[in-house]
Amino acid sequence: MFASIVTISLAAILTNNFIFSQFLGICPFLGVSNKMSTATGMSVAVIFVMTMASAICWVINQFLLIPFGVADFMQTVAYILVIAVLVQFVEMFLKKAIPSLYSAMGIFLPLITTNCAVLGVVLLNTQNSYNFLESLVDGFTGGVGFTVAIVLFASVRERLQFADYPKAFEGFAICLVTAALFALAFMGFSGMKIPV
């Protein structure tokens, strides 16, 4: 049990990082990584939504979709609705509790709904038939992996403003090239495993 949890965490954060090796959640990753403060704010929201979504979707799948025999074709629809509602909830909460963070994240908050890392993690949980705890851990550490990637990247991107590169690479293009180097670095983690 312990071993599988450590393995899942390690994979989600380093070896199989959602952004740098699975290409999930690239849009918000590029969108909010230009400033450290928005990057961290976004990460917290993503960690929360991913953990909650993993837990709720597991319950829905086990106790609603599978017993009624509709898991094959209603999974995607049900999951995305859960995520949409959750995001709405986070948005309402932030608006009331931390208005400054709410205004900083602006349009990216509703975009968590369309963050493929969130839907990705719940779909992968189901595909790998993780149990409740494993799903929860995968959701949480997946969010942590997203945070690691986005915070690392934001710190590099803040310096990118002062770099001298061809004008054609302005905007997302140079970011993608930078991300490519990150991906190469993260490949170094591949195959890392806990001896059981």
Partner 1 sequence: MKKLVDFVKPAAILLIVAAVVALVLGLVDMVTRDRIEAIAAETKTNAMKAVLDADSYEELTLENAPADVDEAYTAAGGGWVVQVTESGSQGSITLMVGVSPDLTCTGISVTDSSETAGLGAIASQQSTAGENFRSQFVGQSGTVAVTKDGGSINALTGATITSRAISAGVTTALALCETLG
Partner 2 sequence: MNVKKQLTEGLITNNPVLVQQIGLCATMAISTSLFNGIGMGLSVLIILTCCNVVISAIRKIIPGQVRLAIFVVVIAGFVTIVDLLLKAFIPALSSALGVFIPLIVVNCIIIGRAEAFSSKEGVFLSFRDGVFQGLGYTCVLVLMCLVRELLGSGTIGGGILNGATSFFTLDGTGAGIRIIPEGFGAGALVLPFGGFLTLGCLMAVMQYALRKSNEKKARKEKEVKE
Give me the least distance between CB of 1 and partner 2, in Å please.
25
Distance separating alpha carbons of residues 56 and 145, to the nearest angstrom: 20
47-86 mask for partner 1 (x: CB under 8 A)? -----------------------x-xxx--x---x-----
A 10 A CB-CB count for 142 gives 33
Q: Which does 84 bind (CB under 5 to 8 A by kind): partner 2, partner 1, none?
A: partner 2
Residues 34-73 touching partner 2, rule: CB under 8 A, are 72-73
For residue 99, how many other CB atoms are within 10 A of its CB? 10
- 150 near partner 2, judged by CB under 8 A: no
Question: For the chain, how are helix, strand and coil distributed in percent, rounded to 5?
Answer: 75, 0, 25
Q: Is 128 helix (H, G, I), strand (E, B) or coil?
A: coil
Look up residue 63 and give its amino acid: F
Confirm or reject binding of residue 15 to partner 1 (CB under 8 A).
yes
Query: What backbone phi and psi angles, to 5 degrees, belong to 40?
Result: -70, -40
Q: Confirm if 190 and 15 have CB atoms less than 8 A apart.
A: yes
* Site residues (vs partner 1, CB under 8 A): 7, 15-16, 21, 70, 72-74, 77, 81, 128, 190-191, 193
* Site residues (vs partner 2, CB under 8 A): 20-27, 30, 72-77, 80-81, 84, 110-111, 113-116, 118-120, 123-124, 127, 166-177, 179-181, 183-184, 186-187
